[in-house]
Amino acid sequence: MPTHHFPTGGHMDVLDIPFNHFLGIHRSEVTRLLELEDSPSYLNHLGTVQAAAQLALAEAATGDRLIQLFPELVGLVIPVVRKVEAKFKNPLQGKITARTSTKESEVEEFRRSISVKGRGFITVHAEVVDAAGAVGLSSSFDWFVQKRT
């Protein structure tokens, strides 16, 4: 079984993660948001975008958000998803895009925690939408982040 090594300092991109690469998650040249193209591979039994494809895109986007918020921690910490809350709202068709957000108060609390304790929790919210603007998934990902020892 192949072993993948990820950077321990400097640059990290969620698009380099083997599973995200396998799925075809990529960054829009225009919006810089993560997306999945329109493909029959992502469809479910109803002909709409499969829930698991939406969740995978949302997870990648929340990890990407962490890198954007805390670039100084890349390579110094190990982030893992601890909890996911997901609500599927509308069937999606075609290309899908993930939008993320975080509460500023949680960002500041996380910065304090990682600085003082070397670990912390942060929640990143993600919505997955299609080209028509329909929201298919509304989710929150609780990330546990710990400094490498």
pLDDT tens, residue by residue, 52-82: 999 999 999 999 999 999 999 999 999 999 9
Instruction: Output the six-digit token pair for 55.
Output: 């969740």
Cα end-to-end distance, the chain, whole Å: 26
Instruction: Judge whether 137 lies within some domain.
Output: yes
Which amino acid is residue 30, in one-letter code? V
Q: How many domains does the chain have?
A: 1
pLDDT for 11 equals 67
Note whether residue 26 is domain-resident: yes
What CATH number should be reported for the domain holding residue 29? 3.10.129.10
Tally of CB atoms within 10 A around 60: 23
Task: List, for the chain, all residue ranges whose pLDDT scores fall below the cut of 50.
Answer: 1-8
Instruction: Judge whether 23 lies within some domain.
Output: yes
Q: Are 10 and 76 in contact (CB under 8 A)?
A: no
Q: How many CB atoms lie within 10 A of CB 63?
A: 23
The whole-number pLDDT of residue 149 equals 87
- Whether residue 3 lies inside any domain: the answer is no
Q: Which domain holds residue 80?
A: 14-147
Question: What's residue 12's pLDDT?
Answer: 82
